[in-house]
Amino acid sequence: MGYDLKLRVWRGDKSGGELGDYTVEVSEGEVVLDAIHRLQATQAGDLAVRWNCKAGKCGSCSAEINGRPRLLCMTRLSDFDPAETITVTPMRAFPVIRDLVTDVSFNYEKAEQVPAFAPPPRDPDGKRRMMQVDVERGQEFRKCIECFLCQDTCHVVRDHDENKKSFAGPRFFLRYAELDMHPLDTHDRRALAQEAAGVGMCNITKCCTEVCPEGIHITDNAIIPLKERVADRKYDPLVWLGNKIGIR
């Protein structure tokens, strides 16, 4: 059964913009991205929106729906009252390019700062070995689709652009944690996680975990263990002594 959906969509670019009101015909079972596409096709041909898979897997269609960071393609219209106006705005933590499209290059800059996986030489038979439990621990982190909704929602950068220089954000704490827990990685990332990535600025509000469309337990399984590892290093008596006499 179809009905008329009231949509309010942010239109504009980096110089400014405003919310535009539209009425779009939608059908039962559709998602917010369907309504946006119909709006584009029938009334606003120049509306900019980024998307690719329409299956919750590419991480492109991130935006804010009624102020909450969400994937447009995975948010069902049936989650809302048909009489309700649905407001769609671009991710607030990143600069707007146009309409719903933001410039997420902050995230790529932070990704570049994470040193690549550095395995030791192979065993004499040419293989590398690790325990199954370690393989499984990393699997959860590898589900990340880089939608950056966690980055968008984290209060450390959401309203504080000035923190972006010293804070990598939850998506990259996930990456640091994954690599630091990897038994075959030879790089000690704890100093970097603390100093360049600023894991200490996270005060465990868990908002990142709440919005992750992949259901990754970012705070409990990555950030808290990473903080513990960083603290172990910081309070290790040998590291402390090394810092005092300037050899580490």
Q: Tell me which residues touch ligand SF4 (CB under 6 A).
A: 144-150, 170-171, 174, 211-214, 216, 218
**Residues at the contact surface with ligand FES, assessed by CB under 6 A:** 51-54, 56-61, 71, 73
Q: How far is the CB of 65 from ligand FES (least distance, A)?
A: 12
CB atoms within 10 A of CB 152: 26
| Eight-state DSSP code of residue 165 | G
44 binds, among ligand FES, ligand F3S, ligand SF4, none (CB under 5 to 8 A by kind): none
Q: Is 101 helix (H, G, I), strand (E, B) or coil?
A: strand
Only segment of 60-68, 131-139, 198-206, 237-245 that touches ligand F3S (CB under 6 A): 198-206
When the beta carbons of 98 and 155 are compared against ligand F3S, the nearer one is: 155
By the 8 A CB rule, do 209 and 216 touch?
A: yes
177 binds, among ligand FES, ligand F3S, ligand SF4, none (CB under 5 to 8 A by kind): none
When the beta carbons of 71 and 168 are compared against ligand F3S, the nearer one is: 168
**168 CB contacts (<8 Å, ≥6 apart)?**
110, 113, 114, 176, 196, 197, 198, 199
Counting contacts by CB under 6 A, is residue 202 touching ligand F3S? yes
Q: Which of 205, 158, 204, 150 is nearest to 175 (CA)?
A: 150
Rounded Cα distance between 191 and 140, Å, is 24
15 binds, among ligand SF4, ligand F3S, ligand FES, none (CB under 5 to 8 A by kind): none
181 binds, among ligand F3S, ligand FES, ligand SF4, none (CB under 5 to 8 A by kind): none
Q: Rule CB under 6 A: which of 126-165 touch ligand F3S?
A: 154, 156
By the 8 A CB rule, do 9 and 36 touch?
A: yes
154 binds, among ligand SF4, ligand FES, ligand F3S, none (CB under 5 to 8 A by kind): ligand F3S
Report the sign of the C-alpha dihedral through residues 53, 59, 63, 66, in that order.
Answer: positive
Counting contacts by CB under 6 A, is residue 203 touching ligand F3S? yes
What single string gives the DSSP state of each residue in 15-49?
TEEEEEEEEEEEETT-BHHHHHHHHHHHT-TT---
When the beta carbons of 26 and 61 are compared against ligand SF4, the nearer one is: 61
When the beta carbons of 33 and 226 are compared against ligand F3S, the nearer one is: 226
Counting contacts by CB under 6 A, is residue 206 touching ligand F3S? yes
Tokens of 13: 């670019």
Rounded Cα distance between 214 and 37, Å, is 24
When the beta carbons of 53 and 204 are compared against ligand FES, the nearer one is: 53
Interface with ligand F3S (CB under 6 A): 154, 156, 170, 202-208, 219, 223
